[in-house]
Amino acid sequence: MQSCGQRRAAAIGVIQMSIAIARPKRAREEIRDKLTSPRDRTLVSLLAYSGPRPEEVVCRLAWEDIGERAIRYRDTKRHRVRFTPLLAPLAEDLREWFLASGRPEAKQPVIPAHDGGFWTDDDWRNWRSRIWRGEERPANRRNVPTYPGAAPDGTRPRDLRSSFITVQVYAGVPLTTISKQCGTSITMIEQHYAGVIENWDGKQVPADEQIRAARALRTRQTDATDGATKPLRAVSERDPRKASGR
Per-residue model confidence as pLDDT tens digits over 89-133: 999 999 999 999 999 999 999 999 999 999 999 999 999 988 998
Instruction: Give the rounded distance of the alpha carbon of 224 from its chain centre.
Output: 23
- CB of 178 closer than 8 Å to CB of 169: yes
Indicate if the pLDDT at residue 206 is higher than 80. Answer: yes
d(CA 48, CA 59): 17
What are the phi and psi torsion angles at 203 (to 5°)? -80, 125
Which uninterrupted H or E stretch holds 72? strand 70-75
Q: Which tens digits make up the pLDDT trace of 53-101?
A: 999 999 999 999 999 999 999 988 778 999 999 999 999 999 999 999 9
Confirm if 193 and 162 have CB atoms less than 8 A apart: yes
| Residues with Cβ within 8 Å of residue 49, at least 6 apart in sequence | 87, 89, 90, 163, 164, 167, 207, 211
- pTM, entire model: 0.78
Class of the domain covering 4-206: mainly alpha
Residue 18 reports pLDDT greater than 50: no
CA distances from 187 to 175, 190, 202 (A): 9, 5, 20
Q: Is residue 146 predicted with pLDDT exceeding 80?
A: no
Is residue 145 scored above 90 in pLDDT?
no
Among 162-166, 224-228, 229-233, where is mean pLDDT lowest?
Answer: 229-233
Higher pLDDT, 2 or 140: 140
For 121-182, the DSSP string reads HHHHHHIIIIIIS-BPPPTT-TTSPPB--SS-TT--GGGGHHHHHHHHHHTT--HHHHHHHH
> Lowest-pLDDT range, 7-16, 41-50, 152-161?
7-16
Taking the C-alpha atoms of residue 233 and residue 246, their distance in angstroms, rounded to an integer, is 16
